[in-house]
């Protein structure tokens, strides 16, 4: 009977760690943050590649119903003229972070009279994400952003984590099968890669390796930011078809 009582107490404690965002488990884990990471892993694949003269982002799009209009599904957002972000995870959470990011870009322009650096914006987004991991009554953002752009430091690629951590990358992937995508990128990526056509082609090839479905220009979004122009823009379907 005593053993059963101990097991019940341990089970109740584990449930408490599981439900409360502000309580660490005895192993030093925040379970709600780990669940948010799982939401990211179940999201659509997003890939970013940094070239010598710019950055390229690609995201897989998939209709959950034959009646859905894929053209209206957006997975890559323009944050500022020189910065964009691809998402993996909960779309609704992503919209909140995108709106927040756009406001921060405008605040920086008004305050300092210049566009915000990509890393500065990434830090601000991650500060907001981190706040949502230490206050009771809320939950972490169930989305990761792949933030890319071209600023005074050159081309930049960052990923943000639901915990509020961020990392800088030469090439990376988030979302479904992201580990397999990073493995492929680590083998194929070269530091001397050019944006057109090598970096864009590498993005497409990597997506083909990790996505089981047949890909065409309607099943993906591709955006680029060139270092000299410092302008983040999306490629048209015709341009994507040419690169494929």
Q: What's the pLDDT score for residue 215?
A: 84
Q: What's the pLDDT score for residue 157?
A: 98
* Domain assignments of the chain as residue spans, ordered by start: 2-243
- The stretches in the chain having pLDDT less than 50 are 1-2, 6, 9-10
- pLDDT tens-digit map of 102-160: 999 999 999 999 999 999 999 999 999 999 998 888 899 999 999 999 999 999 999 99
User: Do the Cβ atoms of 227 and 54 come closer than 8 Å?
Assistant: yes
Looking up tokens 């089970």, which residue turns up?
11
Q: pTM for the complete prediction?
A: 0.90
Query: Could you give the CA distance from residue 231 to residue 234 in angstroms, rounded to a whole number?
Result: 10
CB atoms within 10 A of CB 44: 22
Q: Which CATH architecture group holds 2-243?
A: 4-Layer Sandwich (3.60)
C-alpha atoms less than 13 angstroms from C-alpha of 141 in its C-beta half-sphere: 28
């Amino acid at each position: 009977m005593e053993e059963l009582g101990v097991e019940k107490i341990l089970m109740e404690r584990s449930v408490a760690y599981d439900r409360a965002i502000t309580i660490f488990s005895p192993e030093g884990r925040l379970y709600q943050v780990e669940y948010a990471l799982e939401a990211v892993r179940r999201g659509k694949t997003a890939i970013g590649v940094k070239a010598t003269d710019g950055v390229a982002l690609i995201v897989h799009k998939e209709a959950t119903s034959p009646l859905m209009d894929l053209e209206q599904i957006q997975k890559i957002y323009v944050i500022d003229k020189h910065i964009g972000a691809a998402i993996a995870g909960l779309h609704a959470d992503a919209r909140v972070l995108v709106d927040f990011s756009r406001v921060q870009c405008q605040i920086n322009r008004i305050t300092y009279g210049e566009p915000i650096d990509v890393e500065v914006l990434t830090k601000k987004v991650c500060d907001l994400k981190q706040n949502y991991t230490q206050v009771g009554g809320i939950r972490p953002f169930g989305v990761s952003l792949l933030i890319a752009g071209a600023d005074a430091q050159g081309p930049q690629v960052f990923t943000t984590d639901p915990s509020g951590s961020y990392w800088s990358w030469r090439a990376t992937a988030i979302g479904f099968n992201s580990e397999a995508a990073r493995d492929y990128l680590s083998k194929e990526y070269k530091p001397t890669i050019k944006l057109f056509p090598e970096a864009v082609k590498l993005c497409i090839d990597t997506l083909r390796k990790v996505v089981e479905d047949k890909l065409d220009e309607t099943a993906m979004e591709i955006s680029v930011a060139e270092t000299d122009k410092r302008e983040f823009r999306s490629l048209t379907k015709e341009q994507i078809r040419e690169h494929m």
